[in-house]
Amino acid sequence: MSGTRDIRCICGASAFDTIFTYLEAPAGEVKFDFGPGPYRREILRCRNCGHFLSVHDIDMKELYGGHYVNSTYGSDGLRAAFARINALATVRSDNVGRVERVTEFVSAYFKGRGVGFAPKVLDIGSGLCVFLYRLHELTGWPCTALDPDPRAVEHAKTEAGVQAVCADFMQADGLGRFDLITLNKVIEHVLDPVAMLARAAGNLNDGALVYVEVPDGEAAMAEGSGREEFFIDHHHVFSLTSFKICAQNSGFEVHALERLREPSAKFTLRAFLTRPPSIS
Ligand SMILES: [Zn+2]
């Protein structure tokens, strides 16, 4: 592939093994309109930290401005998908487990601030907004959704009943500061996840938390190239080590790092991040 030799991992290393090669889209991968040209893509694995990179020449620049919602949910599908996912039984819902975990950890973490303290929450890449809707319903915490797609933002306001901002987070100004920023299955979609986490640090109050979920490539690779963790919209798929390195290189300390298989069968890594006291 062109440029493969110039590729650098988030750990700084540049020696990789090719784990998977795709000459056509794997079954189940969302059919984005990439224009003409052959489909060719490789998953490379870093020999140092076990991180996975998806390498291809397909132009994905405009993906999240609207094509992503169109391809993923259809042009009028957000409301229907929101209703369908909200209706999932507790045992089948990734969001139930996610809300439980976040509520439990965050409540304990901020216990010293008193019972009246309600952390201000920003969810970056809110998409369908099921997570934030449920978190807000359960806790009453002031919640703001951020998404680059105007339909997702309108949906967050009208269906999920939370504040919402339409922006590309990497360009957004004046968002304010928050006590909890959540990035659920978001940083694997951007070319530079370290830059995204580092930017999030600028929107944190003192002593704030960041909650991050990413796809777990180490667990997924055992089930082969067809796993959704390796689909084209993920530039990065993480190992336990590379997730830690990514957070640390963004200026964070890592807490409660966990590996889990979700009710949807996704292989996931999740953790809470804080700024070290010397920096914040
Ligand atoms: Zn690496």
134 located within any domain? yes
Other Cβ atoms within 10 Å of 120 Cβ, number: 17
Tokens representing 156 are 């967050």
Q: What pLDDT shows up at residue 3?
A: 46
Rounded distance from Cα 39 to ligand 1 centre (Å): 26
Q: What pLDDT shows up at residue 5?
A: 59
Mean pLDDT, the chain cut into blocks of 10 residues (280 residues total): 71 97 91 77 98 88 64 72 80 89 97 93 95 96 96 94 96 96 97 97 96 98 97 96 98 97 96 81
CATH code: domain of residue 149 = 3.40.50.150
Q: What pLDDT shows up at residue 2?
A: 44
Q: Specify the number of domains making up the chain.
A: 1
Rounded distance from Cα 261 to ligand 1 centre (Å): 23
User: CA–CA separation, 78 vs 130, rounded Å?
Assistant: 11
279 located within any domain? no
Rounded distance from Cα 238 to ligand 1 centre (Å): 9
Rounded distance from Cα 11 to ligand 1 centre (Å): 4
Rounded distance from Cα 130 to ligand 1 centre (Å): 33
Rounded distance from Cα 264 to ligand 1 centre (Å): 28
Rounded distance from Cα 216 to ligand 1 centre (Å): 14
pTM for the complete prediction?
0.92
131 located within any domain? yes
Domain containing residue 232: 4-274
Rounded distance from Cα 239 to ligand 1 centre (Å): 9
H-helix segments, the chain: 67-73, 78-86, 94-109, 130-139, 150-155, 193-201, 217-221, 240-249
Q: What pLDDT shows up at residue 66?
A: 61
CA distances from 238 to 126, 163, 246 (A): 21, 31, 9
Rounded distance from Cα 1 to ligand 1 centre (Å): 19
145 located within any domain? yes
Strand order in the sheet with 16-22: 16-22, 41-46, 52-56, 236-237
Rounded distance from Cα 243 to ligand 1 centre (Å): 10
169 located within any domain? yes
Q: Quick check: 239 and 217 in contact, CB under 8 A?
A: yes
Rounded distance from Cα 9 to ligand 1 centre (Å): 5
Rounded distance from Cα 269 to ligand 1 centre (Å): 17
180 located within any domain? yes
Cα Rg of the chain (Å, integer): 18
CA distances from 65 to 26, 61, 62, 152, 220 (A): 24, 9, 6, 10, 29
121 located within any domain? yes
Rounded distance from Cα 263 to ligand 1 centre (Å): 29
Rounded distance from Cα 249 to ligand 1 centre (Å): 12
280 located within any domain? no
Q: What pLDDT shows up at residue 63?
A: 62
Q: Quick check: 143 and 163 in contact, CB under 8 A?
A: yes
Rounded distance from Cα 20 to ligand 1 centre (Å): 17
Nearest to 144 by CA among 128, 124, 130, 127: 124
User: CA–CA separation, 193 vs 53, rounded Å?
Assistant: 12
